A and B are shown apart, each in its own frame.
Chain A
């Protein structure tokens, strides 16, 4: 069976591509007939496997790690298509291996959703993992935020080499206490930037109420983000600070750059010995945001930013990172399965920052829930139109001559991109 599984899987992949089908089916086929396929293929890589997980920022961070490693001359396998679950990885692998099942790469960097990462590490223990954060997202799938933290802890426990942790997220940092054999490295934030990262525990907490216990004393971090400028950032590592230009926008994206640097340095060997920092920083300065993560398109000669919002922390960070002044704003909220059906999270976001300028258009299947939310925050609402194509057309028409920004949930973003691709250049995502 094993000898047939790869050619068969590749065949299914070709056929399902021709049919325009989903990216995971061929992965499912090969997984069913040859469960050892992934482990066999991935464990042969000289630098092993690195898993990136956490609630927010997986896609952009994984993209950064890949580009950083490529700048060091490594050949990297990754699951680019955003299929961040085990079958998606198997499907991506099938596209890359030769007909005999060999993968020509030095290292695999895989973005995995928390629950699927647990399955994955049980069958393929990674050499590295990078754990970004635990936030309230998809609680309708995982139940509780503490449960999500346990999933990440399991990923760390299965890691054989280095575990990279967010020093500033207490639930992630505390994972270090549970580990025995692994090397632990942290990425961190300067104290002056901490307040721009409200965590879920701060939500609605009274002023001055004590934060939940983090680590007793902050451990030293391998890479610390010290400052964020308009299009630059200052990082500290190896006892010095460097300033680099950044294409990425939004403080949270740039904090994830510190995460990516820490993982890339672990894989290449930290210090000046192996990693070439000039080329690393050069690569970092060129990383463009991933699909929908602070992406900027051009419509009618004006920028149109798409900001993906999936959970309250992401929405709050988005509002904080992209000030409303001078922009026309639209919010698109869907409640399809991929977005999460529960709308409660909108009530955990404060919309005061939109009060001065108001919101031009609300759309998506839950447009009226969003309108109700804004009403209770005294934010002026222009139009409410649940149908996305009509809402987008009105937004573009009435916002002529103004830069625009759309905050959108996942499936709303797909719909908006589909509409926008009719009038401007939008990167195609398979």
Chain B
């Protein structure tokens, strides 16, 4: 336990927030760990006690989940988790509908949707938590991305995907791309929002440079569990400077 966590775990802790990483063994690429680490640290910086759990294929599903975070994977990783994810569809849907905050990036964004149709026509079913569908393409969308959002201000990250996602009427986009491509090469949208789920193609990792999204997940978790959220005072000086710099880098 780091010093910061030790303090939070002491007498003044405002309560425990349980974060579950979905399939970190098979769906963890491009620094997805950074998202889990940021949640863990910021929960402590806000004065709560973080509890970080991993859920991998075949594990018993943890109780009392407060935040879910899931990452991207390679095609091989998606195949490995596919059946297990279907078996957990019920639990995940229930949590989503109940307002549990979730962050799903890239591969798990796609699989939280209705389906992924590969270039060869094979259809990989998703779990339908999000009203989105994804189609495989030959084109790989790679590079720095800048997204304008109403909820979180400017969101910065890095995309690397060949699946292109289209949103249905049941979800709204996370934002509109100002640089980069986002969900697909047509409509200028990036990511999806549904209840307290934030879905996005952006790596970077996403949360370190976008603390507004991290704090949204933590606030929502605290409100859902304790009825209210009393924030701490994290020092975001480096995040602000890193954002300034990242926004100016070429695609």
A: residues with CB less than 8 A from B are 136, 139-140, 143-146, 203-206, 209, 335, 341-348, 365-366, 368-369, 371-373, 375-378, 384, 386
Closest chain-B Cβ to A146's Cβ sits at a distance in Å of 5
Q: Are A139 and B238 in contact (CB under 8 A)?
A: no
Q: Are B245 and A376 in contact (CB under 8 A)?
A: no
Q: What is the CA–CA distance of A205 and B33 in the complex, to the nearest angstrom?
A: 10
Closest chain-A Cβ to B35's Cβ sits at a distance in Å of 8
Q: What is the CA–CA distance of A388 and B28 in the complex, to the nearest angstrom?
A: 32
Chain B binding surface SS class:
mixed
Q: Are B3 and A144 in contact (CB under 8 A)?
A: no
Chain B 143-165: CB-based contact to A (< 8 A → 1; otherwise 0): 11000000000000010101000
**Could you write out 11 A-B pairs with CB less than 8 Å apart?**
A139-B29, A139-B160, A205-B24, A342-B204, A347-B205, A365-B245, A368-B242, A369-B209, A369-B246, A372-B242, A377-B37
**Chain A residues with CB below 8 A from B205, complex form:** 344, 347
Whether a CB of chain A sits under 8 angstroms from the CB of B186 is no
Q: Are A368 and B245 in contact (CB under 8 A)?
A: yes
Whether a CB of chain A sits under 8 angstroms from the CB of B13 is no
**Chain A residues with CB below 8 A from B25, complex form:** 205-206, 209
Q: What is the CA–CA distance of A347 and B241 in the complex, to the nearest angstrom?
A: 17
Given A144-B74, A341-B249, A347-B34, A136 and B238 contact (CB-CB distance below 8 Å): no
Q: What class of interface size applies to chain B in its complex with A?
A: 35 or more
Q: What is the CA–CA distance of A377 and B238 in the complex, to the nearest angstrom?
A: 13
Q: Which of these, A203, A371, A375, contacts B33 with CB under 8 Å?
A: A203
Q: Are B158 and A344 in contact (CB under 8 A)?
A: yes
Q: What is the CA–CA distance of A344 and B142 in the complex, to the nearest angstrom?
A: 13
**Chain A residues with CB below 8 A from B162, complex form:** 143
Q: Ordered nearest first, which 7 A-B pairs have the shortest CB separation? A: A347-B34, A347-B31, A344-B31, A368-B242, A344-B30, A368-B241, A372-B238
**Chain B residues with CB below 8 A from A204, complex form:** 24, 28, 33
Return the chain B residue nearest A374 by Cβ. B238
Q: What is the CA–CA distance of A365 and B162 in the complex, to the nearest angstrom?
A: 28
Q: Are B208 and A372 in contact (CB under 8 A)?
A: yes
Q: Are A378 and B24 in contact (CB under 8 A)?
A: no
**Chain B residues with CB below 8 A from A140, complex form:** 142-143, 160
Q: What is the CA–CA distance of A372 and B203 in the complex, to the nearest angstrom?
A: 15
Q: Are B33 and A342 in contact (CB under 8 A)?
A: no
Return the chain A residue nearest B250 by Cβ. A341
Return the chain B residue nearest A312 by Cβ. B31
Task: Select the residue from B24, B25, B162, B235 with max chain A CB neighbours within 10 A.
Answer: B25
**Chain B residues with CB below 8 A from A365, complex form:** 245, 249
Q: Are A346 and B75 in contact (CB under 8 A)?
A: no
B: residues with CB less than 8 A from A are 2-4, 24-25, 28-34, 37-38, 41, 54, 56, 74-76, 140, 142-144, 158, 160, 162, 203-205, 208-209, 235, 238-239, 241-242, 244-246, 249-251
Q: Which of these, A146, A344, A366, A368, contacts B74 with CB under 8 Å?
A: A146
Return the chain A residue nearest B80 by Cβ. A212
Given A139-B30, A204-B33, A378-B3, A368 and B75 contact (CB-CB distance below 8 Å): no
Return the chain B residue nearest A206 by Cβ. B54
Given A206-B24, A206-B25, A344-B31, A376 and B37 contact (CB-CB distance below 8 Å): yes
Q: Which of these, A203, A342, A384, contacts B203 with CB under 8 Å?
A: A342
**Chain A residues with CB below 8 A from B56, complex form:** 206, 209
**Chain A residues with CB below 8 A from B33, complex form:** 203-204, 347-348
Return the chain B residue nearest A345 by Cβ. B31
Q: What is the CA–CA distance of A80 and B209 in the complex, to the nearest angstrom?
A: 40
Task: Select the residue from A145, A341, A365 with max chain B CB neighbours within 10 A.
Answer: A341
Q: Which of these, A143, A345, A373, contacts B208 with CB under 8 Å?
A: A373
Closest chain-A Cβ to B32's Cβ sits at a distance in Å of 8
**Chain B residues with CB below 8 A from A368, complex form:** 238, 241-242, 244-245
Closest chain-B Cβ to A343's Cβ sits at a distance in Å of 7
Q: Which of these, A136, A146, A341, A344, contacts B34 with CB under 8 Å?
A: A344
**Chain A residues with CB below 8 A from B140, complex form:** 143
Return the chain B residue nearest A367 by Cβ. B245
**Chain B residues with CB below 8 A from A375, complex form:** 235, 238
Return the chain A residue nearest B211 by Cβ. A372
Q: Are A371 and B238 in contact (CB under 8 A)?
A: yes
**Chain A residues with CB below 8 A from B242, complex form:** 366, 368-369, 371-372
**Chain A residues with CB below 8 A from B250, complex form:** 341
Q: Are B74 and A145 in contact (CB under 8 A)?
A: yes
Q: What is the CA–CA distance of A140 and B238 in the complex, to the nearest angstrom?
A: 25
Q: What is the CA–CA distance of A159 and B191 in the complex, to the nearest angstrom?
A: 45
Q: What is the CA–CA distance of A384 and B208 in the complex, to the nearest angstrom?
A: 18
Q: Are B4 and A144 in contact (CB under 8 A)?
A: no
Q: Are B241 and A371 in contact (CB under 8 A)?
A: yes
